[in-house]
Structure 1
Amino acid sequence: MTSTAFVKQLEGYGLTTAEILYRLPDHPGLLQAYVWQEYDLAPDFPVLNDFLAFWRRELAGPLHSVKVCHARLIKPAEFKAVDGVLTLH
């Protein structure tokens, strides 16, 4: 049985990590950090945008900022041709 995460990677999804800073409802001068991680499609990030829409709609802590990092885990192999031969004694 194949995992859903592996299938998503084969479909072009990459691992997306977002650091979300938000203000505490009772203490708006303080920021709290939340780290979110899921497989998503760059550059539009539909899964992250859905989560942020849920956050704005359902949670009391207003968003301050979001930092996003994305990496495709399955990608073509890198190949470099070498012009020449090195012989060691």
Structure 2
Amino acid sequence: MVSTDFMRQLEGYGLTTATILYRMPDHLSVLQTYIWQQYDLAPRFPVLQDFLTFWKRELEGPLHSVTVAHSRLIKPAEIRNVNGVFTLH
């Protein structure tokens, strides 16, 4: 059985890491860091956008900034279908 993560990579998803700085609800001058990581589609990042919408709606710590890094782990030239079997090159 092929993993869901692998299938998403074949569909163009790449590993996205977001460093989220947010303010403490009771001490707005204090910043905290949250690291979020998920497979997502660049450049629009719909999965990250959904998460940030959830954050703004449900969590009390206001966002300060979000820094995003993204990498497609499997690129089109690296995978081939040979006799019905996917192989990495």
Report the TM-score, using the length of structure 1 for normalisation: 0.85
5+ long unaligned stretches in structure 1: 78-89
5+ long unaligned stretches in structure 2: 79-89
2:11 aligns to what?
11
> What per-residue deviation string (whole Å, max 9, x for no partner) do you get for residues 2-30 of structure 1?
11000000000000000000000011000
Report the TM-score, using the length of structure 2 for normalisation: 0.85
1:63 CA displacement:
0.1
SS in 2 for 1:50: helix
2:70 aligns to what?
70
SS in 2 for 1:54: helix
1:53 CA displacement:
0.1
SS in 2 for 1:7: helix
Work out which of the two has the higher radius of gyration on C-alpha atoms and give 1 or 2: 1
2:87 aligns to what?
none
Measured on the aligned residues, the alpha-carbon RMSD in Å equals 0.6
Structure number having the greater strand percentage: 2
Identical pairs, percent: 71
Runs of 4+ deviating beyond 3 Å? none
Residues 1-89 of structure 1 aligned to structure 2 (within 5 Å): 1-75=1-75, 76-77=77-78
State the alpha-carbon separation in 1 of the partners of residues 66 and 36 from structure 2.
Answer: 10
State the alpha-carbon separation in 1 of the partners of residues 54 and 9 from structure 2.
Answer: 24
